[in-house]
Amino acid sequence: MSEKKKVVSGFFKFSLGTWIRFIISLIQIPVITHIVEPTELGRAEMFQSLSLLSSEVLVFGMTDAFLRFYYEDDGEKRNVIFWSALFVPIFLATMFSGCVFLLRYKVNSVISGEIIGYNYMWLIFVTFISIALSFSQTIIRAENNGLIFSLLEVSKSLTYLLLSVTFLTKVSSTYKSMVIAYILSTLISFTVAISFTYHYWRRPRIYFNITKRMISYAWPLFISIIVFDLLAYTDRIMLRFLNNFESIGYYSVAYKLTSVTGVITGGYITFWRPYALKVYKETPWKVKSLFKKILDVISFSMLNLCLLIMLAKDLVFLILGRDYYSGAYVLPFLLIVPVTNTLAWTVNRGIEISKNSKIFLFSELVALVTNIAFNYTLIPIYGARGAAISTGISMIVRFHMMAKYSERAFPVGYDLKKTYIGVFIFCLVALVNTFMNTYLGVLSALAGIIAIILLYKKVFFELLHDFSKITGYVLKKVQKT
């Protein structure tokens, strides 16, 4: 199989679940926004944000370390590598549970504004399950089982939709129903995952010398993960203290709509990282030309996809309901997040190949400081729109830092000038759609799409050619049948 076909095949397998999740999201978002008030949705979003933040931090970068060390063994010691990596997050999660219990009233208050309740217990439970699930998913990624990975993604999204709608309509239309649905869907997804990865979970064997080596690799990643998670959730946390739960509701709905881009980003990021390492190890002479080509294709695809979403934003928010229409002016700058995040995951392979993981930390730290400064300045003036602008700017800074240092660590020769021009065009369109009326927003989005096509005309015609070939092939098959 050619390199191009391998990339397309792997991308499709890992993206399949994301496509189905996209369809589920199209159903889920309008259904839930018609049942739940923005304030209750804001509380549910706070719980999910804290859950994701805690589990990602407590993993300590050991899933990345496991993935990095996985390919250095022929298979005999992979069970040992797995448990040696898992030991650290389990230990940290146990310590975390004790801290949450001691601060349970404060934790409850941050989540819902109420001191009494069981929010802290739900947070502890779902954190352990999320850690276990993330390790099972990493095994599946390492084994390149894209279809199984997609099955997990679909099972979690579908069960969350069914359970949340059931609880909201039959039990209570409050944030608690959504929290319980989120916990149960995570548990069900882990149950499915462990059925495919049980051979790693049985016979625990921990070699502390391996754990020590993995910690050496993971600790800079751990700090960068903390910083990145703070970067990802600073907007909602600062909205909580500088504004109100209603603004978090608007912001979270707009943020969820960016998940539409997961159709491309989810499968691509999940597939690309292990595949890039594999190509580097097995066919290093192909690496640079492949990396450059991938950046151009991803830049063109992501910029145009997000401009198309921006073009349709007013229609989408009308479907969601009038209570959430303010979110239409929050979405534009949030769409910069998936664009720059995907670009960063493409160019930062050089950092990983060089094993200089401290660069990740430095990039995240600069972006975090930028985000906090802009949030503190803009949220009191523009509310949720200010938070979105701050997040967009900080993610651009993050991408620039990673691109710059990745090229130093492992020179590839990316056409970054073209990428920066594309991002600049996107920001101009986002600015118009954040503060101007619908008519000007639509015109600017159309102009932006045309500009990106002209900027990447070579990629555009190549993709058009590939599409025509695939269409012709499918039509021939249909005619034969």
Rounded to whole angstroms, how far apart are CA atoms 336 and 342? Answer: 10
Of 69, 57, 65, the closest CA to residue 93 belongs to 57
Instruction: Inform me whether the pLDDT recorded for 170 exceeds 80.
Output: yes
What's the confidence (pLDDT) of residue 126?
Answer: 93
The answer to whether the CB of 300 falls within 8 A of the CB of 460 is yes
Q: What's the distance, CA 3 to chain centroid? A: 26
Q: Give the torsion sign (CA, 53, 59, 60, 66).
A: negative
Q: For 204-237, what is each residue's pLDDT tens digit? A: 888 888 888 888 888 877 777 777 777 777 777 7
Rounded to whole angstroms, how far apart are CA atoms 404 and 417? Answer: 12
pTM of the model: 0.65
At 420, is the pLDDT very low, low, confident or very high (cuts 50, 70, 90)?
A: very high
Rounded to whole angstroms, how far apart are CA atoms 52 and 55? Answer: 5
What is the share, in percent, of the chain residues with pLDDT greater than 70?
83
Instruction: Inform me whether the pLDDT recorded for 10 exceeds 60.
Output: no
Q: Where are the beta strands (DSSP E) in 189-245?
A: none
The DSSP annotation for 173-219 comes to: SSHHHHHHHHHHHHHHHHHHHHHHHHHHHSS----HHHHHHHHHHHH
The answer to whether the CB of 240 falls within 8 A of the CB of 46 is yes
Of 331, 321, 367, 192, the closest CA to residue 257 belongs to 331
Of 238, 293, 227, 269, the closest CA to residue 458 belongs to 293
Rounded to whole angstroms, how far apart are CA atoms 457 and 296? Answer: 11
Q: What is the mean pLDDT of the chain?
A: 81
How much is the average pLDDT of 126-133? 93
Q: For 439-449, what is each residue's pLDDT tens digit? A: 888 899 999 99
Instruction: Inform me whether the pLDDT recorded for 4 exceeds 60.
Output: no
Instruction: Inform me whether the pLDDT recorded for 3 exceeds 70.
Output: no
Helices 208-242 and 78-102: angle between axes, nearest 10 degrees:
40
Angle at the Cα of 75 (from 69 to 76), degrees rounded to 5?
110
